[in-house]
A = this chain, B = another copy of it.
Amino acid sequence: MNDQNDIIPIHRLKTACSACSLRELCLPVGLTSDEMAKLDQTIRQRRPVKRGDVLFRSGDPLVSLYAVRTGFFKTTVVSEDGREQITGFHMPGELMGLDALGQNRHGCSAIALEDCEVCELPEQQLAPLSQTIPALTNHLYKLMSREIVRDQGIMLLLGNMRAEERLAAFLLNLSQRMSTRGFSSKSFHLRMTREEIGNYLGLKLETVSRTFSKLQADGVIHVQGKLVELVEIDALKRIISSCPGLH
């Protein structure tokens, strides 16, 4: 049936979705190798993005959806008067640009926090591809839906939590995502500055710094610049689910 897909041309081995180490996290999830081959044909792989580069800007017309292949991105929204809010940090295997499907314009900007590579799914291919791969439609629904759930979680964090809880939740979230990607869940490099962490969490950079110091003094984590080690993960979890202000 799909035997022609069992042999992948050597020269594509390194880039094809079907051979990508992220295929279980990224767009191809749940596709047959037949379907994945179709996907491979429409996706432009391994486009490099330099640190600091803007992949797309809020307001730009939607050209493509982007999957992070390597590296780290942040997405930001900006209010009329210029206030910026970081809405997410994005790791390999995560899709960016879903918020643009509504108006065919990006609602946020994506900026590389380090040298990155992205895979590109042209918007024009989206409708035809959805027709030929019904599972993809469904998968995109799921991804968008998960994005909504994620955002709602952040709303809870911003609306209800104190500084220490926010930072603990942030670290645990990073830890969990690192481990999903096969990295250590206990120690990792932060790719973003204190200011960016603070912006994301609705705090000032000084508060982030102070809270890191406090967590370290409590023996819960160990911080050295951008290197973080989660010493007592359970204690971190206890921080977010203990609620002193609750009756």
Contact = CB atoms under 8 A, between A and B. Distances in A.
B202 A158 contact: yes
Interface secondary structure of A, over-half rule: helix
Interface in A132-152: 134, 137-138, 140-149, 151-152
Interface stretch (A33-41, A98-106, A179-187): A98-106
Interface residues of A, number: 52
Contact of A83 (B140, B144, B147, B156): B156
A241 B148 contact: no
Interface stretch (A9-17, A20-28, A73-81, A207-215): A73-81
Contact of A155 (B87, B142, B144): B87
A246 B78 CA distance: 13
Interface string A96-128: 001111110001100000000000000000010
A85 interface: yes
